[in-house]
Structure 1
Amino acid sequence: MTDGTLYESIGPGYARTRRPDPRIAARVRSALRGARTLLNVGAGTGNYEPDDRTVVAVEPAAAMLAQRPPGAAPAVRAVVEALPFGDTAFDAALATFTVHLWHDVAAGLAELRRVARRQVILMTEPEIGRRFWLTRYFPETLALPSEAHAPAVADIGEHLSVWAVEAVPVPADCTDGFVGAYWNRPEAFLDPAVRAGMSILAQLPPAAAARGVRRLRTDLARGTWDARYGHLRTLRTYDYGYRLVVAGEQD
């Protein structure tokens, strides 16, 4: 997991645009069924943490911890590669939209396996995500370490006993502001507050981000975006490549 430095700089406004989508949350809860104790790693502001069981959160960035709402699960400032918990301390470990940011994926997965009987990971299959139309406007994102070296589902299977992989299509009216949420609402990417809630765009140098915004604004004004991708506005869901990976002990 990142040591927190990244999200100390890009995370202060995260909670304004990142709210859990109830349909995605239902899929996560289903994968966690039967787990009474849960460790949420890379927990951020607490999105997708269930409120009907014992939860402990792990998050390295103070800026993210400060945005956890009142009543959220207790949180520990730590990194996934060195979790301060005993063996099999939890029924399940949850990691949502975080594994691509870990410094050492193998070490982090080994720690999830050590502290929890089941592991549930919501992640992007990178080859699908790299084909998203947004990369046409912000090509520099492809060279970011978090994207260029993002693990695939197959990589997770090299370290965990994976027994289920489920596609998680993104609804057309997704309420969470992750990068794939606005696949049919390109105008949202013109909003700096929206971009600030997405690590992939928040990491870009200002000049690269500005170039991408200009390209997108111009294509929207000219109708070029709709000529290429307008059919997306008619769809109810879209497969950005998000996958729910479940490993370890089964029910």
Structure 2
Amino acid sequence: MAELAGVSVRAAIERGLEARAKGLKVTPEEQLEMLGARLYNEIGSAYPATRRTEPRIAAQIWDALGDAQTVLNVGAGTGSYEPPDRDVTAVEPSAVMRGQRPADAAPCVAATAENLPFEDRSFDVAMAVSTVHHWGDPTAGLREMRRVAHRVVVLTFDTDEPGWQDRFWLTRDYLPEFAAVLAEFPSLAGMADAIGARAEPVPIPWDCADGLFEAYWRRPAAYLEEHVRRAMSVWTKVGPEAEQRAVRSLGDDLDSGRWAERNSDLTALDAADLGLRLLIA
């Protein structure tokens, strides 16, 4: 079943990219099916166990919100990183994600980033956390955020640097397919230009509570755990064959000590810059 799910998601993504390449119009409902809710409906059930708010990353995001009182959280998922002291409205296309939001969470609207159902300048700030790479048209989504809010804060990652996939040992040594997944992802500079943003690095602490893809850079054995991987969309996108090969190779290198030899410099680090960036406009 997992293999069939991965194939269906990849097929949907490919259909969406093909349509965009041909210049065809894709409706919001089609975007929701192809690139938004469908993917998160398949990985969403694993989120509550590992995708929690990391306080040190949250502090940086919330500091960027400044004195904003009304906040729109786009691609809100189950509610991680929503500031508790602001008036928050959430946008989330996946019914699975919406269904797992806490009872006291902010009200949540079913919509996509590219078609936000709000008037111009309805919010002080629009924020988006680790979600832009799932949008059908990231640039359009960012511009929509700029339209409905006075300011924008977005947590994303940088693929501008040549050889960026070598920053992280998992993509460098075990999962080269990750580069292909992001082949059409817009550059950080391009996204920043689209909304007039500046970028600042977001270090990932070694004991990061949020199980995002790079979170376990100093805890490699975590990637051998099925429930950990299921909350990371990367594995669904690369497919079961690449996933199984990567996990098998990593397990072998952990058993043999080869991983430790290659990455001995990481043990002295409390945090690492693996390309996570905060765009602030």
With normalisation by structure 1, the TM-score equals: 0.93
2:184 equivalent among 136, 149, 155? 149
Give, in angstroms, the shift of residue 4 of structure 1. Answer: 1.1
Higher relative contact order, chain-length normalized (CA < 8 Å, sep 6+): 1
Are the counterparts in 1 of residues 69 and 86 from structure 2 also a CA contact under 8 Å?
A: yes
- Shift of residue 12, structure 1, vs aligned partner: 1.4
- Pick aligned residue for 1:105 from 138, 144, 151: 138
Counterpart for residue 217 of structure 1? 251
Q: For residues 41-52 of structure 1, what are the structure 2 equivalents within 5 Å?
A: 41-52=74-85
**What amino acid is aligned across from residue 156 of structure 1 in structure 2?**
M
CA distance in 1, matches of 2:127, 2:82: 9
Q: Where do 5+ consecutive residues of structure 1 fail to align?
A: none
Structure 1 residue ranges, 4+ long, deviating more than 3 angstroms after superposition = none
**CA offsets 1:4-46 (integer angstroms, 9 cap, x no match):** 1111112211111100110100001100011100000000011
What is the rounded CA distance, in whole Å, between the counterparts of 2:241 and 2:152 in structure 1?
Answer: 39
Q: How do residues 219-234 of structure 1 correspond to structure 2 at under 5 angstroms?
A: 219-234=253-268
CA distance in 1, matches of 2:269, 2:86: 36
Deviation at 1:160, TM superposition (A): 0.7
How far did 1:158 drift?
2.4
Alpha carbon RMSD of aligned pairs, Å? Answer: 1.3
Deviations 1:159-202 (A, max 9, x none): 1121x321111111111100111111110000011111111123
Q: Which amino acid is 1:55 matched to?
A: V
Alignment partner of 1:116 is 2:149: yes
Matched, 1:133 2:165: no
Q: TM-score, normalised by structure 2?
A: 0.84
Greater share of residues in helix = 2
Q: In percent, how many aligned pairs have the same letter?
A: 48
Which one is further off, 195-204 or 52-61?
Answer: 195-204
Secondary structure of the equivalent of 2:145? helix
Task: Name 2:128's counterpart in structure 1.
Answer: 95
Deviates more, 1:122-131 or 1:184-193: 122-131
Give 1:127 shift.
4.6
Question: What pairs up with 1:1-251 in 2 under 5 angstroms?
Answer: 2-127=35-160, 130-131=165-166, 132-135=168-171, 136-144=173-181, 147-162=182-197, 164-247=198-281
Gaps of 5+ in 2: 1-30
Amino acid at match of 2:130: F
- Give 1:139's aligned amino acid: P
Q: 147-156 or 75-84: which moved more?
A: 147-156
